[in-house]
C-alpha cells in the first residue's frame, strides 16, 4: 500500500466549493459631526452672523433715530439760518420750507428747495445745507440792479441780465432810466439790451470820470442804438439836456467827439435837440424846432428827478 499523499482530480475538488459567493458588505466608517477640528469654523461663522445681526439692528435704530427723532425734527422757521439777503424778506425764504415742517432735516430735499429759492426774482443764486442736528443753512446771492425800467407810468428795477425786480419800499436807488422794452419783451432780448447798456455806461466812464452822472435816460426802442439823454456836458453845465444817438459801439471815441464839439455845434445851430453819432465821419445835429416840445421834455425830466430816478447832474440842469 502506498503511503504518499492522496491526489484528487480537479473535478472532485470543484464540487466541494459553493456555486455562488455572497457579496461582501463594505465596512461603514462613522465620523463625528462635531470633531475637534471643526469647532473653529463653527465659532467663526457664529461670530460673523452675530456681527451682521448686531450691525443691522444698530443701523435700523440709527436710521429710525435720524428720520423720526424729535432731536432732528424740522419744527419751525426759526431753524432756518439765512445769509446774504438784503432785499429778499426772511418770510419769502422760510415759506419755501413750509412743506418740510414736522419732518427730519435729513428728509428736506435740498436741491428742490434751492431751485425754488432761485425762482425768486431777486435771488441770483442760492446754497442750501443741513447743519445737524436740526438746522437748515441758506446762503443767497441777490441780483444787483443797474437801472430803472420805465413801463408806462411805473418804474421797475432791472439788472444786467434783463431780469425785472420789484422796488423795495425801504431802499433808495440812484440809477438812470431805460426804456424801449417791458416785461413782455423776451428775456433774451432784454438781456442783450441791458448788456449794451452796461457796456455803454462803463465806456463813457472811461472816457470821462463822472460821465455816467450826465445820463438821465437811455432809450432802447432800437436794440442796436443807445439813444441817451445827457445833461451837464463839460462847458454846458446847467443847460438844457439833449438826446444823443451813440449806436452800438465805440462809445469812448463818440463821447470824446461829443464833449469836444457840443459847444461849437450849439453856437452854430442854436439850441440843439439831438445829435446823431452813428455814422462814420459824419455827425447829424438836429436843432430844436418847437419850443413846446422842449417844454414837454423839460417837464418829463423834472418829473423823473422828483421820482428820484435821475442822477444829480440831471437835477442840476433842471
- Could you give the residue ranges of the DSSP H alpha helices within 208-250? none
CATH of domain 145-317: 3.40.50.11690
Q: Is the pLDDT of residue 200 over 80?
A: yes
Nearest to 244 by CA among 218, 280, 205, 274: 274
Collapse the DSSP code of 64 into the 3-class scheme (helix H, G, I; strand E, B; otherwise coil) and give the result. helix
Q: What is the pLDDT of residue 8?
A: 56
Distance CA 60, CA 309 (A): 62
- State the chain's mean pLDDT as an integer: 80
Q: What is the pLDDT of residue 106?
A: 85
What does the pLDDT look like over 64-114, one tens digit per residue?
Answer: 555 555 677 888 889 999 999 999 999 999 999 999 988 888 889 999 999
According to DSSP, the residues that pair with 138 across neighbouring strands are 82, 128
**Cβ(106)–Cβ(71) under 8 Å?**
no
Whether 72-142 shares its CATH topology with 145-317 is answered: no
Distance CA 259, CA 255 (A): 6
Q: What is the pLDDT of residue 46?
A: 75
For the chain, give every domain's residue range.
72-142, 145-317
Higher pLDDT pick, 151 / 29: 151
Rounded percentage of the chain residues whose pLDDT exceeds 70: 72
142 Cα distance to chain centroid: 10
What does the pLDDT look like over 54-64, one tens digit per residue?
Answer: 777 566 556 65
Q: What is the pLDDT of residue 297?
A: 40
Q: What is the pLDDT of residue 63?
A: 60
* Residue 202, C-alpha cell as written in the block: 462803463
Angle at 159 between CA 157 and CA 162, to 5 degrees: 100
**Cβ(145)–Cβ(157) under 8 Å?**
yes
pLDDT band at residue 154, thresholds of 50, 70 and 90? confident
218 Cα distance to chain centroid: 29
pTM of the predicted protein model: 0.67
Collapse the DSSP code of 91 into the 3-class scheme (helix H, G, I; strand E, B; otherwise coil) and give the result. helix
Mean pLDDT to the nearest integer, 270-281:
88
**Sheet architecture: strand order including 242-245:** 164-165, 154-159, 145-151, 177-179, 215-219, 227-230, 242-245, 272-276, 284-287
What is the CB-side half-sphere exposure of residue 160 using CA atoms within 13 A?
A: 11
Mean pLDDT to the nearest integer, 272-301:
69
Q: What is the pLDDT of residue 314?
A: 37
Q: What is the pLDDT of residue 205?
A: 94
pLDDT band at residue 49, thresholds of 50, 70 and 90? confident
CATH of domain 72-142: 3.10.20.310
Nearest to 260 by CA among 275, 270, 238: 275
Nearest to 229 by CA among 285, 288, 281, 297: 297
Distance CA 166, CA 123 (A): 12
Amino acid at each position: 500500500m502506498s503511503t504518499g499523499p492522496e491526489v484528487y482530480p480537479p473535478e472532485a475538488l470543484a464540487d466541494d466549493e459553493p456555486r455562488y459567493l455572497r457579496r461582501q458588505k463594505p465596512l461603514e466608517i462613522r465620523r463625528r459631526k462635531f470633531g475637534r477640528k471643526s469647532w473653529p469654523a463653527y465659532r467663526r461663522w457664529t461670530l460673523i452672523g452675530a456681527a451682521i445681526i448686531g450691525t443691522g439692528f444698530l443701523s435700523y435704530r440709527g436710521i429710525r433715530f435720524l428720520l423720526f427723532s424729535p432731536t432732528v425734527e424740522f419744527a419751525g422757521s426759526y431753524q432756518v439760518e439765512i445769509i446774504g439777503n438784503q432785499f429778499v424778506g426772511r418770510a419769502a425764504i422760510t415759506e419755501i420750507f413750509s412743506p418740510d415742517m414736522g419732518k427730519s432735516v435729513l428728509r428736506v430735499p435740498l436741491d428742490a428747495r434751492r431751485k425754488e429759492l432761485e425762482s425768486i426774482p431777486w435771488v441770483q443764486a442760492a446754497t442750501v445745507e443741513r447743519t445737524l442736528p436740526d438746522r437748515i443753512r441758506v446762503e443767497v446771492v441777490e441780483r444787483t440792479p443797474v437801472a430803472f425800467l420805465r413801463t408806462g407810468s411805473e418804474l421797475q428795477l432791472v439788472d444786467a441780465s434783463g431780469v425785472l425786480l420789484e422796488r423795495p419800499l425801504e431802499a433808495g436807488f440812484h440809477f438812470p432810466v431805460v426804456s424801449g422794452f417791458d416785461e413782455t419783451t423776451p428775456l433774451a432780448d432784454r438781456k442783450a439790451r441791458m448788456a449794451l447798456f452796461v457796456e455803454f455806461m462803463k465806456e463813457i466812464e472811461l472816457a470821462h470820470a463822472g460821465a455816467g452822472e450826465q445820463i438821465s435816460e437811455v432809450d432802447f426802442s432800437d436794440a442796436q442804438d443807445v439813444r441817451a439823454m445827457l445833461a451837464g456836458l463839460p462847458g454846458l453845465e446847467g443847460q438844457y439836456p439833449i438826446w444823443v444817438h451813440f449806436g452800438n459801439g465805440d462809445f469812448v471815441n463818440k463821447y470824446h467827439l461829443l464833449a469836444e464839439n457840443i459847444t461849437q455845434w450849439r453856437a452854430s445851430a442854436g439850441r440843439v435837440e439831438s445829435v446823431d453819432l452813428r455814422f462814420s465821419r459824419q455827425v447829424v445835429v438836429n436843432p430844436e424846432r418847437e419850443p413846446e416840445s422842449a417844454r414837454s421834455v423839460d417837464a418829463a425830466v423834472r418829473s423823473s428827478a422828483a421820482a428820484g430816478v435821475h442822477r444829480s447832474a440831471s437835477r442840476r440842469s433842471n
